[in-house]
């Protein structure tokens, strides 16, 4: 990139940043909605270089109305009769799921757009309720790689607009204070309700974020020198291998071990050297503009005041974790955030300390179970013990003596019995496809054609060699006739030998040409039998593709003939199956199965064939054995080649206990035998 181009890109970037800052400043002002959204929309359209833009808002009804627009007439929106209807469908989609999206007339998604433009849509929310949509009309020739950037920028700017709407709907100070007090009481109730570390961390992250008013709040727990992120607001679980979580763990670990709170507002000059690198890595990964990492310590005077009245953290207390508070859009902590963090950290650290102490109890699940048992025996203990003993004895007797059908499960596919695979007869490139997936063909129907330039060249060379030998034979025959007329017997004998040698060469050349001709003819692949093409999207998979001899090209299956189930049974189940087959003395075992296409129905079949060897299972560690089951195809409401099947093979009767807990018995027998 030249210097002039670099300067131009830099100027455009600075202009976009300046427009974003202006939108952020307007969101903090008390401008009326008409003026704010007019200024907001003009800057967003100018920043992304769009053709036009519009803001749609609800005006006391469920229907969206056009609130303001920029150059909307130039898009032809008002000239197309069906444009409002198509546009309303796009707006309803965004209002229903709250997700920003893009639509284009040539993106192949099938979604119709109101104009011939790239449409960028993002929702406007007021107090977590969708109240409007921002719609940007971008040029349709916008590069595909630039669209995610436009979508991200518009979505970020809509975040400022959402904050403006929240400020407009914010309650009065007295009401806000009362509501905050109620929220804080509910937070404390939820925080101290559980002694589970994960539940305490999740409550602190999700409910604490609402009280602090930050964009994201995470709770870290310290185990020795290792830091683990237990909860992140807005997430049901934490993926510890994610890059964001790894960077957060590294930063929290350094701050917690340093035992001093960390506040980042855009500058790192004042920070210790050991914090600078992990902080920079995390900021780059998260994109946050303000980060506070607040260590949590054991209870009992975690925070003390020195002689000057300044609160300092007692360095004698052991750290148990930390809070990570983040703001994405603002670089300065919001008013009152520091005081709220100090208050919440005391309560969270107290609840976290109690939960950690509780979970360190040796054999805690066992003590809980014993406690529940002794609590159950309180009051009329003897009667309860007697009733419990009788119930347990009855259950054990039923498990030991009640017979029940033992069935071996297997998963597989529904397939026709008669099927044939078509392989590549020779190396080549597929130049023509004559059939489609699902098409019915007869035996001898042309399926596809291959081209092998090397084979064609060999045939041409063989033809030239044959022509050359025929010419040589004709020439030698002429010389022999001339020598015979001249009476030269020696020349006649010599030429007869050459003619015989040439005939042998001609015979070999003709044989070679016949073989090559047969190979060229085989490049036209025909159906070996009648049936249905079971290969999906034949043209997309095979056309203009080079193949090797013996490579599978197509699958032909006869749907009009009999069908069966191709099942895979785990090898460790085969003992039950083989014993049941032997006990039947030649009679097939009953099989019950269900199709994934109709899971509400059950069908019957008969076990027909068991493979004599085990095979490795695809995607599983255990070996499997293939079995075949005969079925009545006429009873199946839907027959699809390769439909998923789940079957149970009846292997006779065993005790109810073995049917229910046989896997446990076999596991003990396999891994704990002496």
Poorest-confidence range of 339-343, 362-366, 421-425? 362-366
- The Cα diameter of the chain in Å comes to 141
Q: Which of 10-14, 88-92, 480-484 is most confident?
A: 88-92
Residues 70 and 164 in one domain: yes
**Tokens, residue 82:** 């069906």
pLDDT digits (tens, 9 = 90+) for 42-51: 988 888 888 8
With respect to residue 332, please indicate whether it lies within any of the assigned structural domains: yes
Q: What is the DSSP letter of 333?
A: P
Q: Which of 510, 518, 519, 522 is nearest to 462 (CA)?
A: 510
Q: Could you tell me which residues come within 8 angstroms of residue 123 by beta carbon, excluding any fewer than 6 positions away?
A: 94, 95, 98, 99, 100, 130, 132, 133, 134, 158
Start-to-end CA span in the chain (Å): 74
Residues 319 and 464 in one domain: no
Query: What is the reported pLDDT for 171?
Result: 56
- Identify which has the larger pLDDT, 423 or 299: 423
Backbone φ and ψ for 132, nearest 5 degrees, come out as -175, 180
Gap between the Cα atoms of 633 and 628, Å rounded:
14
Q: Could you tell me which residues come within 8 angstroms of residue 502 by beta carbon, excluding any fewer than 6 positions away?
A: 469, 472, 473, 476
With respect to residue 330, please indicate whether it lies within any of the assigned structural domains: yes
Gap between the Cα atoms of 205 and 325, Å rounded:
9
Query: What is the reported pLDDT for 248?
Result: 93
With respect to residue 605, please indicate whether it lies within any of the assigned structural domains: yes
Residues 224 and 324 in one domain: yes
Residues 52 and 19 in one domain: yes
pLDDT classification of 321: cutoffs 50, 70, 90: very high
Q: What is the CATH number of the domain that holds 164?
A: 3.30.450.40
Segment 550-561 shows an average pLDDT of 84
Segment 140-164 shows an average pLDDT of 85
Residues 152 and 180 in one domain: no
With respect to residue 411, please indicate whether it lies within any of the assigned structural domains: no
Q: Cα 502–505–509 angle (5° rounding)?
A: 135
**626 pLDDT above the threshold of 60:** yes
With respect to residue 404, please indicate whether it lies within any of the assigned structural domains: no
Q: Which of 262, 260, 252, 311 is nearest to 282 (CA)?
A: 252
Residues 512 and 599 in one domain: no
Measured over the CA atoms of residue 388, residue 393, residue 394 and residue 395, the dihedral's sign is positive
Query: What is the reported pLDDT for 563?
Result: 86
The full 3-state SS of 167-215, as one line of letters, equals HHCCCCHHHHHHHHHHHHHHHHHHHCCCCCHHHHHHHHHHHHHHHHCCC
Query: What is the reported pLDDT for 251?
Result: 92
Gap between the Cα atoms of 529 and 462, Å rounded:
33
**Tokens, residue 585:** 């003395």
Segment 276-304 shows an average pLDDT of 82
pLDDT classification of 178: cutoffs 50, 70, 90: low
Q: What is the DSSP letter of 326?
A: E
Please state the separation of Cα 642 from the chain's center in Å: 24
**459 pLDDT above the threshold of 80:** yes
pLDDT classification of 302: cutoffs 50, 70, 90: very low
Segment 512-533 shows an average pLDDT of 84
With respect to residue 556, please indicate whether it lies within any of the assigned structural domains: no
Q: What is the CATH number of the domain that holds 611?
A: 2.40.30.170
Domain of residue 248, residue span:
174-359
pLDDT above 70 covers a percentage of the chain that reads 92
The full 3-state SS of 421-461, as one line of letters, equals EEECCCCEEEEEECCCCCCEECCCCEEEEEECHHHHHHHHH
Residues 478 and 542 in one domain: yes
Identify the three-state secondary structure at position 327.
Answer: strand
pLDDT digits (tens, 9 = 90+) for 556-570: 888 788 888 888 888
In sequence order, the β-bridge partners of residue 594 are: 646
Query: What is the reported pLDDT for 379?
Result: 57
Q: Could you say which of 548, 583, 598 is where a domain stops?
A: 548
Is residue 319 within 8 A of residue 257, CB to CB? The reply is yes
Count of Cβ atoms closer than 10 Å to residue 352 Cβ: 26
Write the DSSP string, 624-636. EEEEEEEE-GGG-
Spatial strand order of the sheet with 64-70 comes to 64-70, 52-58, 129-138, 118-126, 101-103
Alpha carbon of 587 to those of 367, 483, 515, 627, 656: distances in Å?
Answer: 54, 86, 52, 16, 25
- Identify which has the larger pLDDT, 455 or 9: 455
**483 pLDDT above the threshold of 60:** yes
- Identify which has the larger pLDDT, 108 or 290: 290
Residues 323 and 354 in one domain: yes
With respect to residue 157, please indicate whether it lies within any of the assigned structural domains: yes
Query: What is the reported pLDDT for 61?
Result: 63
The full 3-state SS of 605-625, as one line of letters, equals EEEEEECCCCEECCCCCCEEE
Residues 352 and 377 in one domain: no
Residues 85 and 16 in one domain: yes
Segment 457-464 shows an average pLDDT of 86
Mean pLDDT for the chain overall: 83
Residues 517 and 532 in one domain: yes
Number of domains in the chain: 5
Half-sphere exposure of 17 (CA within 13 A, CB side): 6
Residues written for the chain: 674
Residues 323 and 187 in one domain: yes
Gap between the Cα atoms of 27 and 587, Å rounded:
81
With respect to residue 406, please indicate whether it lies within any of the assigned structural domains: no
Segment 5-25 shows an average pLDDT of 76
pLDDT above 90 covers a percentage of the chain that reads 9
Exposed (0-12), middle (13-18) or buried (19+): which is 508, by Cβ within 10 Å?
A: middle
Gap between the Cα atoms of 280 and 277, Å rounded:
5
């Amino acid at each position: 990139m030249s210097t002039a181009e670099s300067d131009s890109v830099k100027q455009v970037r600075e202009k976009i940043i300046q427009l974003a800052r202006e939108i952020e400043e307007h969101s903090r002002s008390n401008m009326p909605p008409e003026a704010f959204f007019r200024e907001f929309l003009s800057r967003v359209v100018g920043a992304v270089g769009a053709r036009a833009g519009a803001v749609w808002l609800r005006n006391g009804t469920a229907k969206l109305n056009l609130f303001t627009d920029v150059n909307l007439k130039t898009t032809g929106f008002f000239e197309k009769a069906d444009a409002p209807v198509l546009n309303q469908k796009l707006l309803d989609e965004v209002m229903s799921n709250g997700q920003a999206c893009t639509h284009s007339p040539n993106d192949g998604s099938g979604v119709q757009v109101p104009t011939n433009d790239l449409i960028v849509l993002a929702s406007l929310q007021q107090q977590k309720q969708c109240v409007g949509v921002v719609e940007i009309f971008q040029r349709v020739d916008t590069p595909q790689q630039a669209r995610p950037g436009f979508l991200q920028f518009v979505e970020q700017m809509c975040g400022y607009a959402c904050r403006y709407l929240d400020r407009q709907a914010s309650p009065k100070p007295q009401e806000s204070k009362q509501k905050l007090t109620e929220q804080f009481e509910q937070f404390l109730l939820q925080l101290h309700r559980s002694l589970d570390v994960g539940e305490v961390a999740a409550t602190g992250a999700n409910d604490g974020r609402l009280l602090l008013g930050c964009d994201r709040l995470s709770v870290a727990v310290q185990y020795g020198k290792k830091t683990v992120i237990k909860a992140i607001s807005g997430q049901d679980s934490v993926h510890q291998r994610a890059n964001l979580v790894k960077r957060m763990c590294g930063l929290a670990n350094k701050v917690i071990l340093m035992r001093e709170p960390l506040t980042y507002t855009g500058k790192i000059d004042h920070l210790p050297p050991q914090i600078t690198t992990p902080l920079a890595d995390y900021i780059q990964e998260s994109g946050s503009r303000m980060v506070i990492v607040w260590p949590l310590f054991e209870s009992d005077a975690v925070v003390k005041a020195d002689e000057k009245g300044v609160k300092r953290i007692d360095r004698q207390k052991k750290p148990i974790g930390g809070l990570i508070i983040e703001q994405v859009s603002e670089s300065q902590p919001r008013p009152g955030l520091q005081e709220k963090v100090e208050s919440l950290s005391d309560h969270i650290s107290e609840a976290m300390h109690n939960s950690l102490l509780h979970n360190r109890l040796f054999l805690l699940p066992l003590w809980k179970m014993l406690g529940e048992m002794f609590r159950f025996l309180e009051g009329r203990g003897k009667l309860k013990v007697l009733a419990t003993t009788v119930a347990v004895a009855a259950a054990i007797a039923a498990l030991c003596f009640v017979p029940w059908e033992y069935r071996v499960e297997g998963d597989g596919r529904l397939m026709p019995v008669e099927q044939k695979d078509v392989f590549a007869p020779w190396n080549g490139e597929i130049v023509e496809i004559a059939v489609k997936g699902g098409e019915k063909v007869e035996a001898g129907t042309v399926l596809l054609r291959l081209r092998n330039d090397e084979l064609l060249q060999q045939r041409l060379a063989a033809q030239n060699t044959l022509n050359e030998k025929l010419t040589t034979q004709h020439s030698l025959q002429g010389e022999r006739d001339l020598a015979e007329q001249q009476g030269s017997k020696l020349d006649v004998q010599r030429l007869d030998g050459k003619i015989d040698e040439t005939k042998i060469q001609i015979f070999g050349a003709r044989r070679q040409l016949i073989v090559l001709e047969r190979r060229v003819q085989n490049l036209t692949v025909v159906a070996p039998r009648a049936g249905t093409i079971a290969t999906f999207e034949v043209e997309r998979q095979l056309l203009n593709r080079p193949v090797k001899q013996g490579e599978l090209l197509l699958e032909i299956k006869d749907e009009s003939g009999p069908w069966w189930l191709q099942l895979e049974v785990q090898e460790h189940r085969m003992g039950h199956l083989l014993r049941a087959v032997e006990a039947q003395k030649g009679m097939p075992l009953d099989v019950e199965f269900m199709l994934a296409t109709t899971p509400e129905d059950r069908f019957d079949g008969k076990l027909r064939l068991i493979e004599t060897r085990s095979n490795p299972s695809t995607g599983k560690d255990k070996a499997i054995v293939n079995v075949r089951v005969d079925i009545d195809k006429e009873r199946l409401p839907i027959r699809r080649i390769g439909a998923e099947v789940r079957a149970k093979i009846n292997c006779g009767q065993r005790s109810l206990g073995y049917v229910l807990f046989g896997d446990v018995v076999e596991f003990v027998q396999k891994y704990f035998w002496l």
